[in-house]
């Protein structure tokens, strides 16, 4: 089970990155370029914590980081300025879904998912982060066909939970060793990178 990293204070910066497994193909003799898309694109998040109190904030953070290096990391995905509202309890509506759209149910009637709004799907105990590709409004019965990016990397079960109220990124911590600079009255954690593993 992944370890949730604490937020004693909001991150100073949190930079999302798309990990792109596709490629741009440029012919050596000057022909037209082509884009080759592959399934497997995913997200990473670079987190820069502000200065923290050494006790207890930095102590707890570093204890969680040490565990997360081995067990995986979980972090609430920030969407500053976005008014999430009350999405209801959205879930996947139907099994066997693939591609760049997702049938959902359980929304509050009339709820609008915004273009670029992130959400996570829980499947087999792991979270998969996606974002909406367009504004879509839930029907009176709470259903929605949502275009998403990146493409689905798994085929979620019907009824799989989708976290719109608070999405999470789950994955591995970056290769660099996480550390903290200690001082008498503050602690300055190094930047942490969480990358989705699947």
What is the rounded distance in angstroms from the CA atom of residue 190 to the CA atom of residue 183?
A: 14
Query: Nearest Cα to 90, choosing from 34, 146, 149?
Result: 146
- Per-residue pLDDT at 176: 60
Q: How far apart are the first and last CA of the chain?
A: 15
Q: Where are the domains of the chain?
A: 3-77+170-195, 88-166
Work out the average pLDDT over 4-18.
86
- Choose the CATH number for 88-166 among 1.10.3720.10, 3.40.190.10, 2.30.30.30, 2.40.30.290: 2.40.30.290
Q: How many degrees, rounded to 5, is the angle at CA 77 between CA 75 and CA 78? A: 125
121-176 per-position pLDDT tens digit: 999 999 999 999 999 999 999 999 999 999 999 999 999 999 999 999 999 998 66
0.85 exceeded by the pTM? yes
User: How far are the Cα atoms of 1, 3, 8, 56 from residue 52, in angstroms, in the given order?
Assistant: 26, 20, 8, 9
52-102 per-position pLDDT tens digit: 888 899 889 889 998 999 999 999 999 999 999 999 999 999 999 999 999
- Per-residue pLDDT at 23: 80
């Amino acid at each position: 089970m992944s370890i949730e990293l604490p937020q004693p204070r909001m991150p100073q910066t949190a930079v999302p990155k798309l990990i792109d497994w596709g490629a741009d193909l440029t012919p050596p003799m000057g022909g037209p370029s082509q884009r080759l898309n592959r399934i497997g694109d995913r997200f990473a998040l670079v987190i820069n914590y502000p200065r923290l109190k050494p006790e207890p904030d930095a102590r707890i953070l570093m204890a969680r980081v040490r565990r997360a290096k081995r067990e995986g990391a979980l972090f609430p995905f920030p969407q500053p300025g976005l008014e999430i509202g009350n999405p209801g309890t959205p879930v996947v509506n139907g099994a066997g879904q693939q591609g760049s759209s997702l049938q959902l149910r359980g929304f509050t009637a009339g709820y609008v998912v915004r273009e670029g709004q992130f959400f996570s799907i829980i499947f087999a105990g792991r979270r998969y982060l996606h974002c909406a590709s367009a504004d879509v409004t839930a029907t009176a019965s709470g259903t929605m066909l949502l275009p998403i990016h990146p493409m689905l990397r798994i085929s979620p079960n019907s009824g799989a939970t989708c976290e719109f109220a608070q999405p999470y990124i789950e994955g591995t911590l970056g290769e660099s060793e996480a550390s903290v600079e200690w001082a008498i009255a503050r602690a300055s954690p190094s930047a942490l990178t969480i990358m989705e593993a699947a």
